[in-house]
Chain A
Amino acid sequence: MLEILFDPLFRLPLFTGLLLALLLPLIGVYLRLREEWLAALGLAQLAGAGALSGAALGLPLLAGSALGAVLGAGVKNLRKGLGNDAYAVMILLGWSLALLISANSPHGDELAHAVTDGQLYFTGTSHLWTAIGLFLLTLGLLPWLSPRLLRARFFPDYYRANGLPEWRYHLSFDLLAASALALATASIGLMAAFALVFIPAWVAFVFAQSWRWTLVWALAFGLLAYLSAFSLALWWDQPFGPVLVACCLSLAAVLWLGQALLKVKR
């Protein structure tokens, strides 16, 4: 089964998804720190609605998706303090728009399925280059952004008290999260994108003993779940998105079961 991973035919989607499988869990860790994990679903829904609206207007899925998610992040930043309320509104708005557009545009149903289930095996070089760009941007930005986001979380008055532009750090992260989710929604599908943001961070927050290890746990979880899903989906000829979600859930269940067994043994 492993030879599937090295098949030249699937090399491009494999690398696009691999970069997303590393990027999304990292984003998820910071969203969970901010207790905004629902953001992933809110932004993914808006990205989905954006992709479908864009397609109806003749735009590529990726462009529409990015527009939808970035708009969501912008509105959320303008309406500070709404937190998960804002994301719940995004989920409802995204869902409603996506279904209405798909019901009223040619090939809407097909596109809606593509956005929901994911179409990783049909992604092209534009997806890969966008993923490489985003991944490099995140690698460059995170060492600068991470301590600022953490300090803002644990010492919320520090930046305001010192007249420092805290909004810049939050907006930078929100735009990064929105861009990553937009690309993920257009590549691996809405729920798979949400799963890669939510589940690795959820597990890492339970098992890791430090912040550094939280990041390592999330990355390792995302990578393992993704590679398993990629192989299994091709091997069994199944849609990638649902297989990825199933892999994430199974891996999490195995870890929790292992932890419970260890506790009983002790």
Chain B
Amino acid sequence: MSSALLAAQQLVVGYQKPITAPISFQLHAGEVLGLLGPNGSGKSSLIAAITGTARIFSGQLHKAPGIELSHQRQRPVRLKEMPIQGRELLQLCAADKLPLPARLKPFLDQRLDKLSGGQLQFLQTWACMGSGADVILLDEPTNNLDPEGIDSLADSLKHLAPNQAVLLVSHEQNFIDKVCSQVVEVSKNA
């Protein structure tokens, strides 16, 4: 467990009551770990427990000291008015230094409130991935994306820096099969 960036041992998480059955995994640098499970099994709650917004009922969650986490929510923050450009959002996360996917370039000079749901999703996901964080938590990153967007995201996930690792939740089996180096089943607490 010591060399893992993130490790869970018999972890049970939830909010008012436990949602997940005990789950264990280890996430090392260079890995993409997919969480798979039916709706309501607690996949997003598991990510929320890692970010500190959900409760850990039992088991252990270990984060390697000094690591930086970035988190893309299942529903990105979408305000009614967002006079901020795509480029400025990437700068906020220091995600503007790496070569950007070609798909992203047309969004850079647009206000966020002018982007479609899929465009904003892709931009925010890339902001997390390009930020240089050690562990990237992606919750349903393919939501609202068209097939080209999903391919572009899969390609970006394959070209992460070797010191980075990804924990992602997706209901799309094909996407999980394509990008994940390991898959963990999440099931509901009995």
Residue contact B93 to A161, C-beta cutoff 8 Å: no
B-binding segment of A18-26, A183-191, A203-211, A226-234: A203-211
Number of A-B contacts (CB under 8 A): 70
Residue contact A161 to B51, C-beta cutoff 8 Å: yes
A-binding segment of B11-19, B25-33, B75-83, B168-176: B75-83
Residue contact B52 to A154, C-beta cutoff 8 Å: no
Closest to B86 in A: A210
Residue contact B79 to A209, C-beta cutoff 8 Å: no
Q: Tell whether A167 is near chain B: CB-to-CB under 8 Å.
A: no
Q: Tell whether A32 is near chain B: CB-to-CB under 8 Å.
A: yes
Residues 68-85 (chain A) with a chain B CB within 8 angstroms: none
Residues 38-74 (chain B) with a chain A CB within 8 angstroms: 48, 50-53, 68-71, 73
Residue contact A210 to B88, C-beta cutoff 8 Å: yes
CA distance A260 to B119 in the complex (A): 28
Q: Tell whether A124 is near chain B: CB-to-CB under 8 Å.
A: no
Q: Tell whether A158 is near chain B: CB-to-CB under 8 Å.
A: yes
Binary contact track A142-176/B, C-beta < 8 Å → 1, others 0: 00000100110111111011110000000000000
Q: Tell whether A212 is near chain B: CB-to-CB under 8 Å.
A: yes
Q: Which residues of chain A are near B73, meaning CB under 8 Å?
A: 156-157
Q: Tell whether A45 is near chain B: CB-to-CB under 8 Å.
A: no
User: How close is A248's CB to chain B, nearest CB, in angstroms?
Assistant: 19
Binary contact track A116-160/B, C-beta < 8 Å → 1, others 0: 000000000000000000000000000000010011011111101
Residue contact A154 to B89, C-beta cutoff 8 Å: yes
Residue contact B83 to A160, C-beta cutoff 8 Å: no
Residue contact A214 to B83, C-beta cutoff 8 Å: yes
Total interface residues on A, CB under 8 Å, equals 26
Q: Which residues of chain B are near A35, meaning CB under 8 Å?
A: 79
User: How close is B146's CB to chain A, nearest CB, in angstroms?
Assistant: 23
Question: Contacts A151-B92, A154-B92 hold; do A160 and B128 have CB atoms under 8 A apart?
Answer: no
Residue contact A155 to B70, C-beta cutoff 8 Å: yes
Question: Contacts A156-B77, A160-B53, A161-B52 hold; do A209 and B70 have CB atoms under 8 A apart?
Answer: no
Residue contact A158 to B81, C-beta cutoff 8 Å: no
Closest to B94 in A: A147
Q: Tell whether B142 is near chain A: CB-to-CB under 8 Å.
A: no
Residue contact B81 to A155, C-beta cutoff 8 Å: no
Which of B51, B85, B93, B127 lies in contact with A157, CB distance below 8 A?
B51
Residue contact A211 to B71, C-beta cutoff 8 Å: no
Residue contact A161 to B71, C-beta cutoff 8 Å: yes
CA distance A25 to B53 in the complex (A): 33
CA distance A150 to B79 in the complex (A): 12
CA distance A155 to B92 in the complex (A): 10
Q: Which residues of chain A are near B71, meaning CB under 8 Å?
A: 155, 157-158, 161
Question: Contacts A157-B73, A212-B88 hold; do A151 and B93 have CB atoms under 8 A apart?
Answer: yes
Q: Which residues of chain A are near B84, meaning CB under 8 Å?
A: 150, 154, 210-211, 214
CA distance A157 to B77 in the complex (A): 11
Residue contact A154 to B83, C-beta cutoff 8 Å: no
Residue contact A210 to B53, C-beta cutoff 8 Å: no
Closest to B48 in A: A157
User: How close is A129's CB to chain B, nearest CB, in angstroms?
Assistant: 34
Which of B53, B81, B128, B137 lies in contact with A32, CB distance below 8 A?
B81
Q: Tell whether B111 is near chain A: CB-to-CB under 8 Å.
A: yes
Residue contact B89 to A158, C-beta cutoff 8 Å: no
Q: Tell whether B121 is near chain A: CB-to-CB under 8 Å.
A: no
Closest to B85 in A: A210
A–B complex contacts, Cβ < 8 Å, 23 sampled: A151-B92, A153-B77, A154-B89, A155-B93, A155-B124, A156-B77, A157-B51, A157-B71, A158-B69, A158-B70, A160-B52, A161-B52, A161-B70, A161-B137, A162-B68, A162-B69, A163-B52, A208-B83, A209-B109, A210-B84, A211-B88, A213-B83, A214-B83
Q: Which residues does A use to contact B, with CB under 8 Å?
A: 32-33, 35, 147, 150-151, 153-158, 160-163, 204-206, 208-214
Beyond A154-B92, A161-B71, A208-B83, list 10 extra A-B contacts (CB 8 Å). A153-B79, A154-B84, A155-B124, A157-B73, A160-B52, A162-B69, A209-B111, A210-B83, A210-B84, A213-B83
